[in-house]
Amino acid sequence: MQKRIMQLLAYILLYPLFYLISILPFRILYFLSDILYLLIYRIIGYRKDTVRKNLELTLPHLSVTERRKIEQKFYSHFCDTLVEMVKTMTISEKEMKKRFTFDNIELVEEFEKKGKSIALICGHYASYEWLLVMNKSLTTHKGFGIYKTIRNKYFDKLVRKIRGRFEGELIDTKSTIPAMLRHKRDRVLGYYGFLSDQSPKLQSATHWTNFFGMEVPVHVGAEMLAKKLDMNIMFVKGSKIKRGYYKAEFIPFNKNPKEVPNFEITDEFIRLLELQILEAPEYYLWTHKRFKHRKNDPAPITQTTA
């Protein structure tokens, strides 16, 4: 009871602040982001050790100075995504569509015509939160996002409400399989968004793959469910155009998931994600301990002389 009261008090205190921030114009929002950057990066140093270790493991070919520049850009982008997440509370559909665009949204309609549900696989890159605006482009399908429930039930309800503004529906990870089985039984066609790059619990890891030269466990739920429920699969490649503006590209997996060997799709996703990160590493979420269960460190870089 005491815990619930504390959660309610936190919500009562923070919700008005979040709402006031959300109605601010973007130029003021990014001014707040710059202040937040100084606080989180320069003063608190939030997860700085984790970020530096991740960059050292994945980008050993870069100098320390080069990695520090990426680190600084990452924290600036990270703070931008925090204020952008709050902005989602009140942002208009028109504004959202202007700031998050799709290179090939017509592919969504093509896949809808196939008459199957679709698994969308993406990583924690650029503005994965704003990907929800694609729900406004769906015609026959419904958009679902797979997520981990927030411990504070009041904020959890708020997050569900925010996503619902753009006709998306959240399914917590523990309810994913029952919900998708129910949808198939009831002939509900959907796009299911999976953030598949987090590190799974070691005891539940069923597949390890090469990611930046390290053998790490990976989530295979999207692939296995696509096979079980006869779904199509698309990868989503996000990118940041400039501050406050993003775009995404859909990359279809053009084979029948049921006809390819297990884990081939997951391995392909990790390969595409690695290439995406290398293009602009500052936009990946480096605060996650993605490599904590690695079997090996990447091979040392051999220095050559002319």
Residues whose CB falls within 8 Å of the CB of residue 48, separated by 6 or more in sequence, listed in order = 41, 71
pLDDT in tens, 146-195: 888 888 887 788 888 877 788 888 899 889 999 999 999 999 999 999 99
| β-strands 100-102, 118-122 pairing | unpaired
For 253-301, give the DSSP string. --S-GGGS-TTHHHHHHHHHHHHHHHH-GGGB-TTS-TTTT-SSPPPPP
Residue 239 near residue 257 (C-beta atoms within 8 A): no
**Residue 63: pLDDT above 70?**
yes
Spatial distance between the Cα atoms of 132 and 139, rounded to a whole number of angstroms: 15
152: number of Cβ within 10 Å: 18
Closest CA to 288 of 119, 84, 74: 74
Q: Cα separation of 19 and 8, whole Å?
A: 16
User: Number of helices (H) and strands (E), helices first, in the chain?
Assistant: 10, 9
Overall pTM > 0.75: yes
Q: How far apart are the C-alpha atoms of 218 and 266, rounded to whole Å?
A: 8
Q: What pLDDT digit, counting tens, does each position of 194-253 carry? A: 999 988 888 889 999 999 999 999 999 999 999 999 999 999 999 999 999 999 999 999
Question: Would you put residue 303 in left (φ > 0), alpha (ψ -120 to 50) or beta?
Answer: beta
Q: Which tens digits make up the pLDDT trace of 108-135? A: 889 999 999 999 999 999 998 898 888 8
φ, ψ (nearest 5 deg) of residue 225: -70, -35
Task: Give the pLDDT confidence score for residue 302 in this predicted structure.
Answer: 59
Burial 80-110 (b: 16+ CB within 10 A, else e): bbbbbbbbbbbbeeeebeebbebeeeeebee
Q: What are the residues whose beta carbons fall under 8 Å from the beta carbon of 156, sequence distance 6 or more? A: 149, 150
Rounded CA gap, 271 and 211, in Å? 7
